[in-house]
């Protein structure tokens, strides 16, 4: 992608975070196109987020995040009015996710982990929020980001944390695909 527009006006704080996150996680060159002598502390904070920068600069060169769910349609197909909202990709330290709220109001954003081609079924994942710089527990099969601001973003790093806990039900991540050893449906 082209030059970053942070600090040039026209973007809310949440839009600026979304803009920077998309550029960084898509492994675009981070060309800053603003007057650095007049930069605000908020914009400087966005541009110097070490965890986001680490993904842009990690050794998995050229491996950009890519959409795994398009638009806001119920069947997640492309919608020219709303771009993809759910992205993931590999990094040297785990799987990166970007959840982009394209709506004009806050929204809960949820997905099944195995929708991402970088996630293995039957595993649980530790969750690191790259904007709040917090470890947010362990995700098993699903993840929900609550009240993502309008035009806002959530950036996550998920790391494999071992097998799913014993007794997780149903016994497989995609209920419609559950089958016992003899091939009969479990669901």
Q: How confident is the model at residue 170 (pLDDT cuts 50, 70, 90)?
A: confident
**What pLDDT, in 10s, does the model give residues 41-67?**
999 999 999 999 999 998 876 789 999
As a whole number, the mean pLDDT across the chain is 88
Q: Is 168 helix (H, G, I), strand (E, B) or coil?
A: coil
| Cβ–Cβ under 8 Å, residues 153 and 14 | yes
The pTM of this model reads 0.88
| Cβ–Cβ under 8 Å, residues 107 and 148 | yes
Q: Does domain 13-163 have CATH number 3.40.47.10?
A: no
Cα 115 from chain centre: 12
| Cβ–Cβ under 8 Å, residues 16 and 153 | no
Residue 175 has pLDDT above 90, yes or no: no
**Bridge partners of 126?**
138, 159
Residue 79 has pLDDT above 90, yes or no: no
Residue 102 has pLDDT above 80, yes or no: yes
Q: For position 74, what pLDDT does the model report? A: 73
């Amino acid at each position: 992608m082209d030059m970053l527009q942070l600090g040039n006006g026209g973007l809310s704080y949440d839009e600026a975070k979304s803009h920077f996150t998309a550029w960084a996680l898509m492994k675009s060159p981070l060309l800053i196109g603003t007057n650095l002598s007049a930069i605000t502390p908020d914009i400087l904070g966005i541009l110097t987020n070490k965890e986001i920068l680490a993904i842009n600069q990690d050794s998995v060169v050229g491996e950009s995040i890519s959409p795994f769910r398009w638009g806001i349609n119920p069947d997640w197909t492309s919608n020219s009015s709303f771009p993809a909202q759910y992205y993931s990709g590999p990094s040297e330290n785990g799987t990166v996710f970007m959840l982009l709220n394209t709506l004009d109001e806050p929204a809960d954003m949820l997905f099944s982990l195995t929708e991402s081609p970088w996630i293995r079924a039957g595993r649980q994942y530790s969750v690191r929020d790259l904007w709040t710089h917090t470890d947010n527990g362990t995700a098993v099969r699903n993840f929900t980001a609550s009240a993502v601001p309008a035009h806002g973003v959530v950036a996550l790093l998920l790391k494999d944390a071992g097998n799913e806990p014993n007794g997780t039900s149903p016994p497989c991540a995609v209920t419609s695909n559950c089958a016992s050893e003899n091939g009969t449906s479990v669901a």
